[in-house]
Amino acid sequence: MPNTLNQPLIVAECVESEPVHVSVAGGEAVICSFRSPDKDSPNEDAAVIVPLNSKTAILAVADGVGGSRMAHTASAEAVKALSRIYEQAKKGEPHSRAAIVNAIERANESVRDSGNGAATTLAVVEIDDYYVRPIHIGDSAVLVLGQRRRVRMQTVAHSPIGYAIEAGVMDEGEAMHHEDRHLVSNVIGADDMRIEIGHRLRLARRDTVVLVTDGVLDNLHLDELIDFVRVGSLEVAAERVMTAVQQRMIKPEDNAPSKPDDTTMILYRRSQ
């Protein structure tokens, strides 16, 4: 059995990490990240798992927006802001969705005030007694994958391509290779940053919660991601996904997506 997580687990500026497997919020989670194979600059992704009590936790991944040499500082600030909710809970302050929103708004102010042009996406899941609620900014994604390959939840990317898919004017195959796929219309670090709070969903047994930066979704079709995640242990599932993504980046295949990028993922399943 994995060790119980008793304090926030942060991954930031990671060149490459083996999947870290922990027990949290009445279930288990795996967190992993690697830097794009085509660069030597810092990994612009970051992630955090924040345990709050035996049934409650916050999971998040962030992707610093490319084009700024300080993008990694924006993603790190976003996850660190969420990690501070742990200290608030230890002091007896009640956890609420407002605490997450306030942390995101503080991160937005901090990134904006830095004046270095940095920005980041953020995808958050609040887990509370096997209920999950997504909160996101940008194109990092939250999915809940159920039995029989069912997608029970998927956030809509805050981007022109994401909105086109949601509206039905573009399918996933077209979107995967579209020249504007990299554009994001909502980020932490912007004056007009918008926080989208999704609906609350009760997890069934064997459902898998997936949080990913676009390094995963730009290199695997959704059907491929589902196949890698739906069976086996979380550690094995994470290794399948990350290995497949790395191979796509390093050795492109005909008619398959390939976009070198920093890549980060968290998987979670309930234990009972």
Q: Which CATH number belongs to the domain containing residue 236 in this structure?
A: 3.60.40.10
Read off the tokens for 183: 């554009």
For the chain, give the number of residues. 272
Nearest to 138 by CA among 172, 170, 104: 104
Please, are residues 50 and 8 in contact by the beta-carbon 8 Å criterion? Answer: yes
Separation of first and last alpha carbons in the chain: 14
143, 210 in Cβ contact below 8 A? yes
Residue 196 has pLDDT above 90, yes or no: yes
- Residue 55: pLDDT band (50, 70, 90) is very high
Domain interval for residue 241: 3-270
Query: Tokens 């490459």 sit at which residue?
Result: 16
What pLDDT score does 254 carry? 82
What DSSP state is assigned to residue 245? H
| Number of domains observed in the structure of the chain | 1
User: How large is the average pLDDT for residues 112-134?
Assistant: 95
The pLDDT score that the predictor gives to residue 68 is: 67
Higher-pLDDT residue of 207, 115: 207
pLDDT at position 203 is: 97
* Residue 78 near residue 122, CB atoms below 8 Å: yes
Q: How confident is the model at residue 67 (pLDDT cuts 50, 70, 90)?
A: low
pLDDT at residue 95 tops 90: no
Q: What is the spatial distance between Cα 8 and Cα 86, in angstroms, rounded to a whole number?
A: 7
How big, in percent rounded to 5, are the helix, strand and coil portions of the chain?
Answer: 30, 30, 40
The rounded distance, in Å, linking the Cα atoms of 225 and 211 is 12
Cα distance between residue 227 and residue 193, in whole Å: 34
Tell me the pTM.
0.96
| Token pair of 49 as six digits | 């798992």
